[in-house]
A and B are shown apart, each in its own frame.
Chain A
Amino acid sequence: MNHLVIAPLLLPLLVGTLLLLSRRTLSLAARRRLNLAAILGQILLAVELLILVGDGTILTYHLGHWPAPWGIVLVADRLAVWMLLVTSLLAFFALLHAMQGTDRCSRHFHPLFQLQLFGLNGAFLTGDLFNLFVFFEILLLASYGLLVHGGGAARVRAGLHFVVINLVGSTLFLFAAGALYGLVGTLNLADLSLKIARLPPEDLGPARVAALLLLAVFALKAALAPLHLWLPSAYASTSAPVAALFAIMTKVGAYSLLRVETLMFGEHAGILTGFYAAWLLPLGLLTLALGALGALAANELRRQVAYLVVVSVGLLLAAFGLGTADGIAAGLYYLVHTTFATAAFFLLADLITRERGWAADRLAPGPALPNAALLGGLFFVTAMLVAGLPPLSGFVGKFLVLRAALDEPVWPWMLGVVLIGSLLGIVALARSGSLLFLHIRGAGSGEPTHPPPAEGLLSASRPTLGLLALCLALLIGSGPVLDLAEATAGQLLDPAGYLQAVLKPIGIQVAPGEVAP
């Protein structure tokens, strides 16, 4: 039992509460610094945990010292810590961008931001199904607040849809959890994994129903087709830092699907082996295709980026759906890349929207951009990243997924859909790039207006540059990152260690050298 495991939950919860209580007493600058310090703390915690779990140990934390199948348990294995690190790094840059002025629109931005991180960290660390539901609700409740943050008709309309759809999803989640509990009498993921494998044949039908309900819930969170239609308008109408932070929200669904797929329907699951993989692969490819078409048809840059998020979810879940170690490792690498790249794109779209004045982010000829060189350069790099062109990390991720697919019988489908989808993505981005930067119309056409000093824009684009630098670091560090991803995939496909760590009675848990709490 390691107390460090619960720290990523306590830190955002306490800081979030503090920010909520101090919103009238502390100045905005002080609250910004507090929020930033808390996120830096979470990055350090995630790095520390990564070092601890790097050798394959699985840390557990039994709340209130109750042994596992009965009490609540937090589990930090490689996958959970991996997600924690990605979340905190993303949150850092999203907050930096928000500090340029978005956070002034309402008093509750900073507390909600921390509570959102609380929900995200909890969802990654929790070891049972019902607490996964609870943390989903926490992160969703915070995200509802963040989504409509700043107000406006478009946000309220998209927010209403988002909230109602997610509430229906939560209800389905409860139905699924209740059905599983009624069948096997446990909600602990490790215990469920053991008991589903030993399910009597007559319970197979209800178990399938519960599993499919669970699949529907996670697919809704991950925006898997045909449940992806809420995403584009929600992401396109919210403020940029929130959209950037939401880049991790679809990955929560993907994470849950991967966790359930490997833990409950893995090799050892008896008749239900591969139950999710059979759905994930075709649905992932369908999502990719629909997302690519949506990106091609979008009229606004932010909506286009939102559709590119859908594309990345499709590729990610298709990779997870392969179910092999290579596929999962490639998916994990791609997950990190796509989270940072799409978040950077949302922030960049915000900068472009601000600079374009009346034309905003509409993909139509507009006024000349004052700092077209800087913004255009950033757009070019980000578009190459997102579309997966060599030599950037998007290409590495996509290449790894395709290479993993080559060993499987589905490779013609996978190769065809992914490559055509990428082509459509490139066409869509080329079109928007030329419309935004080359087709100029309006008052300033003819002779370009005198460009104002670029210093302001340069400092405003620092968070975007930071996220792009993370993608570059991912490219340079591909070797070690991929080693870690492969180790994570290996750990996921062999859940014996996970079961051992969670279900071993609490007394034996304490290692000889470790000081008992």
Chain B
Amino acid sequence: MEALMSLIVGVLTAGGVYLLLRARTFSVVLGLTLLTYGVNLFLFASGRLTIGAPPILAPELSRYTDPLPQALVLTAIVISFAMTAFVIMLALRARAELGNDHVDGRDNAGVASRKKEPEA
């Protein structure tokens, strides 16, 4: 299970980083999402992987899962959801204001026409 988990975290992170480096806001948002999935799984695994044990400390229980990573992951998920929503709104706004979805706000075709603006 450890190998599978680390493979998933690795693949998600690598995919996220690759997409983040793309030039369109859509892939950047997608990359951020993959990255946050990766980090959430990583956080979840930081308390060691156990199967069939509750995250509760009680005298009658012999084994339990560390409850703290679960609390951390919950917080991290909420925050990353909110942030992703915000980035999407901002990307839409940028699309409307700048006229295209390039992260720098300039299309390859539009470079020549846009370059003139600052000098005008």
A-to-B contact residues, CB < 8 Å: 130, 134, 137, 141, 144, 148, 151-153, 156-157, 159-161, 163-164, 167-168, 170-171, 174-175, 177-179, 181-182, 187
CB 8 Å contact bits of B17-39 with A (1 = contact, 0 = none): 00010000100100010011011
Given contacts A134-B79, A156-B93, contact A168 B103 (CB under 8 A): no
Q: Are A159 and B90 in contact (CB under 8 A)?
A: yes
Contacts of B20 in A (CB 8 A): 164, 168
What CA separation (Å) do A159 and B89 show in the bound complex?
12
Q: Is there a chain A Cβ closer than 8 Å to B8's Cβ?
A: no
The answer to whether B90 touches A141, judged by C-beta atoms less than 8 angstroms apart, is no
Alpha-carbon gap, A151 to B89, bound state (A): 13
In the complex, the answer to whether A168 meets B32 with C-beta atoms within 8 Å is yes
The reply to whether B103 and A174 form a contact with Cβ atoms under 8 Å apart is no
Tell me the complex Cα distance, A187–B91, Å: 34
Residues of B within 8 A of A156 (CB): 90, 93-94, 97-98, 105
A159–B104 alpha-carbon span in the complex (Å): 11
- Tally inter-chain residue pairs, CB-CB below 8 A: 89
Interface SS of B by simple majority: helix
List chain B positions with a Cβ less than 8 A from chain A: 20, 25, 28, 32, 35-36, 38-40, 42-43, 45-48, 68-69, 72, 75-76, 79-80, 82-83, 86-87, 90-91, 93-94, 97-98, 103-105
CB distance from B113 to the nearest CB of A (A): 15
With A130-B75, A177-B72 given, name 10 new contacts (CB 8 A): A141-B82, A153-B105, A156-B105, A157-B94, A157-B104, A163-B90, A171-B80, A175-B39, A178-B72, A187-B68
Give the residue of B25, B35, B97 whose beta carbon is less than 8 angstroms from that of A171: B35
A130: which B residues are within 8 A, CB to CB?
72, 75
Measured CA separation A134–B76 after assembly (Å): 8
Residues of B within 8 A of A161 (CB): 103
Q: Report Cα–Cα, A156/B46, bound state, in Å.
A: 37
Ordered by A's residue number, 5 sampled pairs between the chains whose C-beta atoms are within 8 Å are A134-B75, A152-B97, A156-B98, A160-B87, A161-B103
